[in-house]
Structure 1
Amino acid sequence: MDTMKLERIQLYGKHGVYPEENRLGQRFYVSLELKLDLSEAGRTDELERTVNYAEVYALAKSVVEGEPFKLIEALAETLATRVLDAYAKIQEVTVRVVKPHPPFDIVFDGVTVELTRRRTASS
């Protein structure tokens, strides 16, 4: 399998356990690693033979900027499911969501959830 990556997309969402997070929102960083066969796209130079990463970005943006989740785990799971549902060419997706400023007294680069989901034989 080949790999296509969309790295550290900056999006604004209202995810979190605390009411002020849902009201005020904050920045999130999302990275997607897509596993698919890119050989035909490489040989033909035709967009139809690959996954349009602008569309993948738009899908990620709609999820992150959409309905709030309490947990970034749920946000990442939804992103992975939506990507696999939308693109049959993608065999595996790894989603990384970084919440750089959780609402508690700590100095660090944020909390990250990373998960990988694969297309099942029945999908």
Structure 2
Amino acid sequence: MQEKLNQFERNQVWELVNRPINHTIIGTKWIYRNKLDEHGIVIRNKARLVAKGYNQEEDIDYEETYTPVARLEAIRMLLAYASIMEFKLYQMDVKSAFLNGFIQEEVYVEQPPGFENSEFPNHVFKLKRIYMD
């Protein structure tokens, strides 16, 4: 979990600020998952920090949202074209790929449970970038 928070710091995802008065503060929580090998044995524990965005209201707390991912049809077209042209394709996984988008609205989230700043326990994080992964 600390590794994930360090990633946020390195990528300047957020900054610790005084709690604003007239803004919705979104809670955060940790989601845990075990990564298994082909025999079903746990090889790694994974933690993901998520925002509890379900208490936000559209047009009040945020505008239109979307996730920039390729549609299945576009991927199929690419594979068909690559097959016809005999291209060699490679696949890769970009760690923290979604930590690169800047955010338009002012969004504030609670400090992650168990990782509150002891000097500023009542402060919140102001998001500077989108932090989906």
Same fold, judged at TM 0.5 (above) = no
Higher strand share: 1
Higher helix share: 1
TM-score, reference length from structure 2: 0.27
Higher relative contact order (CA 8 A, sep 6+): 2
TM-score, reference length from structure 1: 0.28
